[in-house]
Amino acid sequence: MLYRQRKLDLPHGELDTPVLFPVRNVGKRSSDNTPKYVGTIPEFSAAMINARSIRNRDPMWNRLTNGVTLREEMDVPEETIIFADSGGFDFSEQEIDTTPKKTIKTQRKLDSDIHGTIDIPLSRENRAAENQRRIDRSIEFALEASDLHTGDALLFASVHGYDPETIRNNIQYLENHGDFDGYALGSMVPIRTDYKKVTKLVLAARNATEKHLHVYGLGGLVYQPLLLYLGVDSFDSSAFIRSAGNRNYLIPGFGGEELHNIEDLDRLPCPCPICGQRSLEDIREDRTALTQHNLWALATELRRFKYIAESDRDVENYLDLRFQGNEVTKRAYETAKQQVRRLT
């Protein structure tokens, strides 16, 4: 397997990897309604934010430009690690309304530890020529950001590609012509149900660089063990918020379960600090608690993999069991396993 552990030295402290960056919705709404988790879930001392959304929400941006720090705005400790992406996912449907200079200036104002370069996601509906134009534009933006970067934070180049060869070539081109601390693989969310394709693209990126590899938008329960197995250093997810909004209860080792399917249970299957002392009915009525539980579920999935990897147990045997209940993810894992075995 390609699983690995490293440590990032960042302006606001050290960060052990692999790590999940929970997506915060600050800037997307008038106020950030993500429940408190920093300081309560030990491995989650970090957050992924959308720099564009924050800059475009005038009242919030005015506060930030008049002395309030982003971490004060988010009500988190000053040592919280922040990864600020460009908000590129918004550009899949909207026109690009920023530049590398404007984005980096915003990221610096937010005092983020990691800057993601502007990216324009690919679309499954677009023609190959249009997607190639988007790929080329993202590379141009990344190289412009590299020229502007002063080393005040880590800079991850956002990379897209519709096949493994494109991914490899793009990373190698950026490596030869820019100065980046790592790479962030995008355009994965629209194809997330095509597990075999996603794992092939991720593996191509992993093989193209020894530097930090982040995958945008795929940090849910099912993808976590796959990404860890493939050597991904970090990922982000808003699944805990979206699932809670749909009354979907995340169960480590399994996936999501709609609460109405288990309404005859008195107690929920997870003994986390949120669920341990409360009834199913309590959790059903409290969306904040459900969101917090879902974060604990993501933490548990991550801890479980780390335990297997650090003990004498066989990771591939664990993943054989982990994916046996779903034929689609099982086939994707089997494909990934064959590819990884040829490399190790």
User: pLDDT tens digit string along 20-42?
Assistant: 999 998 877 666 668 888 888 98
Q: For residues 180 and 155, is the Cβ–Cβ distance under 8 A?
A: yes
Q: What average pLDDT does this structure show over 168-177?
A: 97
Q: Which CA distances in Å does 59 have to 27, 133, 156, 240, 313?
A: 10, 35, 29, 27, 52
In this structure, how many other beta carbons lie within 10 angstroms of the beta carbon of residue 253?
A: 14
> Of 204, 84, 263, 217, which Cα lies nearest the Cα of 156?
84
Query: What local confidence, expressed as pLDDT, does residue 129 receive?
Result: 85
Tell me how far apart the alpha carbons of residues 104 and 191 are, in angstroms, rounded to a whole number.
28
Q: Give the pLDDT score at 95.
A: 78
pLDDT value of position 225: 93
Distance CA 44, CA 46 (A): 5
How far is CA 335 from each of CA 213, 235, 312, 326, 330, rounded to the nearest angstrom? Answer: 20, 21, 24, 14, 9
Residues facing 8 on adjacent strands: 15
3-state DSSP assignment of residue 162: coil
Report the pLDDT averaged over residues 302-318. 93
* HSE (side-chain half, CA atoms, 13 Å) at 227: 28
CA 62 to chain centre: 28
CA proximity to 228, closest of 328, 340, 116: 340
Model confidence at 210: pLDDT above 90: yes
Give residues with Cβ within 8 angstroms of 89, minimum separation 6: 121, 186, 189, 216, 217
Write down the pLDDT at residue 96.
Answer: 81
| 33 vs 3, more confident | 3
Of the candidates 280, 307, 306, which has an alpha carbon nearest to the alpha carbon of residue 293?
280
**What is each CA distance from 7 to 17, 142, 214, 234, in whole angstroms?**
6, 24, 14, 11
What is the CATH T-level fold of the domain 1-343, as seen in this structure?
Answer: TIM Barrel (3.20.20)
3-state secondary structure of 43: coil
Give 157's strand partners.
Answer: 183
Distance CA 245, CA 326 (A): 24
List, for residues 212-225, the tens digit of each pLDDT value.
Answer: 999 999 988 989 99
> How confident is the model over 106-164, as pLDDT tens digits?
999 999 999 999 998 887 776 788 889 899 999 999 999 999 999 999 999 999 998 99
Domain boundaries, the chain: 1-343
Residues 68-112 pLDDT 10s: 999 999 999 999 999 999 887 777 667 788 899 999 999 999 999
Nearest to 180 by CA among 151, 222, 203: 151
So what's the pLDDT on residue 167?
96
- For residues 192-198, average pLDDT: 88
Whole-model pTM: value is 0.93
Looking at per-residue pLDDT, the higher value among 10 and 40 belongs to: 10
Q: What CA–CA distance (Å, rounded) separates 45 from 79?
A: 8
pLDDT at 126 (0 to 100): 62
pLDDT of 267 higher than 90: no
Position 34 scores a pLDDT of 81
Half-sphere exposure of 269 (CA within 13 A, CB side): 16
d(CA 200, CA 96): 29
Average pLDDT of the chain? Answer: 91
Chain centre distance of CA 314: 26
pLDDT at 97: 84
